[in-house]
């Protein structure tokens, strides 16, 4: 086969033709799979961008948390060094070292955990962990839709309804019981 034959067998597709083809595909009615895919793609991209932001926040708060813990550890280690025996030879020396270490660590860490600064930082770490879970849930929920499964929000609505129903049934049962008791009392008198 010659080179000329090869050229003749290839279809003549220009870049303009390719562009026009995809433009026409994108113009298909908005119920088509391409539209749905492109729509989902955007939402997925947003979710992943959000996940990245949440993880960055979580790292910042975790760093602050560990900075406080490290400072408390350093304080406890200093306290231990000051109070513990300098030489560890006898059994009593080891026992005294243990006591001094426990005392110093207990003091330093309890002071940390009871401080308002720790409370704020812990609250932020906890909140970031929740944001992280929420970001993952959001991505998972999109997959649930693909599998035609109910999303978390929908299940929550159902649970709320079930809870309300349960409460109503309880109240009704109580009222019926009260009525029965009244009736029994009336019969007795």
Partner 1 sequence: MTKQEELQPDQKQEDQKSPPPVQPQHQEQPKVTKEETDRAKEIQELYRKLEKTRSILHTAGDVEVGQTPHEILEETRTYKLLHYQQMVSKTAKTPILVAYALINKSYVLDLQPDKSWVRSLLSQGFDVFLIDWKTPTTADKYASFDDYVNCDMDRCVDIVLKKNKVDQLTLHGYCMGASMSAMYTTLHQEKVRNLAVIAPVVDTEKDTTVIGNIAKHMDVEKMVNIVGNLPAEQLYACYSILKPFKQGVNKYFNLVQNIDNESFVGNFLRIEKWLYDTPPIAGETFKQWIADIYQKNLFVKNELKLGDEVIDLSKIKVPLLNIVADEDHLVSPQCSAPLNDMVSSVDKRLMRFHTGHVGLIASLYSQNNVLPKVGQWLKARSQ
- The least distance separating partner 1 from the CB of residue 150, rounded to whole angstroms, comes to 13
**Which lies closer to partner 1 via its Cβ, residue 19 or residue 63?**
63
**Which lies closer to partner 1 via its Cβ, residue 142 or residue 170?**
170
Q: Across 25-104, where does the E strand assignment appear?
A: none
User: What are 100's two structure tokens?
Assistant: 């001094």
Residues 6+ apart with CB under 8 A from 10: none
**Which lies closer to partner 1 via its Cβ, residue 60 or residue 119?**
119
- The least distance separating partner 1 from the CB of residue 123, rounded to whole angstroms, comes to 3
| 62: nearest Cα among 151, 128, 149 | 128
CA dist 117 → 54, 105, 112 (Å): 22, 18, 8
**Which lies closer to partner 1 via its Cβ, residue 59 or residue 166?**
166
Residues found near partner 1 in the complex (CB under 8 A)? 91, 98, 102, 105-106, 109-110, 113-116, 118-120, 122-124, 126-127, 130, 133-134, 137, 156, 159-160, 162-163, 167, 170
User: What are 82's two structure tokens?
Assistant: 């000051």
| 35: nearest Cα among 49, 150, 43 | 43
Whether residue 128 contacts residue 54, with contact meaning beta carbons closer than 8 Å, is answered with yes
- The least distance separating partner 1 from the CB of residue 185, rounded to whole angstroms, comes to 14
Q: How many CA atoms lie within 13 A of 37 on its CB side?
A: 6
**Which lies closer to partner 1 via its Cβ, residue 18 or residue 71?**
71
- The least distance separating partner 1 from the CB of residue 129, rounded to whole angstroms, comes to 9
- The least distance separating partner 1 from the CB of residue 27, rounded to whole angstroms, comes to 40
């Amino acid at each position: 086969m010659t080179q000329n034959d090869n050229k003749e067998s290839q279809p003549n597709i220009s870049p303009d033709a390719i562009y026009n083809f995809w433009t026409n595909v994108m113009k298909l009615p908005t119920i088509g799979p391409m539209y749905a895919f492109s729509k989902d793609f955007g939402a997925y991209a947003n979710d992943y961008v959000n996940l990245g932001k949440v993880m960055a926040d979580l790292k910042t708060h975790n760093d602050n948390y560990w900075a406080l813990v490290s400072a408390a550890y350093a304080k406890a280690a200093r306290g231990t060094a000051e109070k513990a025996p300098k030489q560890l030879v006898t059994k009593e020396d080891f026992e005294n070292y243990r006591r001094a270490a426990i005392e110093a660590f207990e003091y330093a860490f309890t002071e940390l955990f009871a401080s308002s600064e720790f409370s704020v930082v812990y609250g932020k770490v906890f909140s970031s962990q929740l944001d992280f879970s929420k970001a993952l849930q959001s991505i998972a929920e999109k997959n649930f839709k693909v599998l035609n499964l109910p999303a978390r929000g929908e299940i929550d609505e159902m649970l709320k309804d079930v809870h309300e129903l349960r409460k109503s049934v309880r109240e009704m049962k109580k009222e019926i019981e009260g009525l029965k008791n009244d009736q029994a009392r009336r019969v007795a008198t």
